[in-house]
Amino acid sequence: MRETLVITFFVVLGYLVGLFTSIYYPFIFVYLIQVNYLVFRGDYISLLTSIFITNSLLDAGFNTIALLIIYSLFGSKVGKLEYIVFLFSGILGNIFSLFLFPPNTASAGASGGIFGILSFYIAYDMLKDRKFNFYEFLFLVIVFVLSDILPNIDYFAHIGGILGGVILAFLANWLKRNGEGRYKL
């Protein structure tokens, strides 16, 4: 199975659900995206649902293209672990947004999880090779900067996603070096 492509499918599906609910059921849409005030009032599930849900074609389009590029570069080489990286990084990015943006802020989209996948692969390859790869690092920095110059971008989610990917890369590398890794990394 090609996990990156499955994640891409759910990003597209999340856009369709987000578009439909934002037009026909906006009271439901508000609880599917992350509205910081509502999370602080107990809507914790939106920390997960907002990773997939968006009503922005631009956001869904860029996320889909980004996932396809990641797939072409890395080919889902960690298998199902990629789902964990995506979800952990996306939730960590949402937590960053929750505490670093004002309570009236709303955010949605998969970019935190996508940055997590990208940073995971880059960091893991560097750790595996025990060598800093300037070009891969530069690629991550360029993608981060270019994605964050657009208006209405949740750069805190991107930073949290990158941090999540790097944390899991260190953990996966440590498990692999200690003989506990189950994944062919």
* Contact (CB, 8 A) for 71 and 94: no
Residue 154 β-bridge partners: none
Report the pLDDT value the prediction gives residue 149, as an integer from 0 to 100: 87
Rounded (10°) angle between helices 3-24 and 111-129? 160
Count of all residues that appear for the chain in the document: 185
Q: Which two tokens stand for residue 20?
A: 């439909």
Q: What angle is formed at CA 85 by the lines to CA 107 and CA 51, rounded to 5 degrees?
A: 20
| Domains with residue ranges and CATH for the chain | 3-177 (1.20.1540.10)
Question: pLDDT for 140-152, tens place per residue?
Answer: 999 999 988 888 8
Question: pLDDT for 85-137, tens place per residue?
Answer: 999 999 999 999 999 999 999 999 999 999 999 999 999 999 999 999 999 99
- Whole-model pTM: value is 0.93
Burial of 6 (0-12, 13-18, 19+ CB in 10 A): middle
Nearest Cα neighbor of 110 from 149, 61, 74 is 61
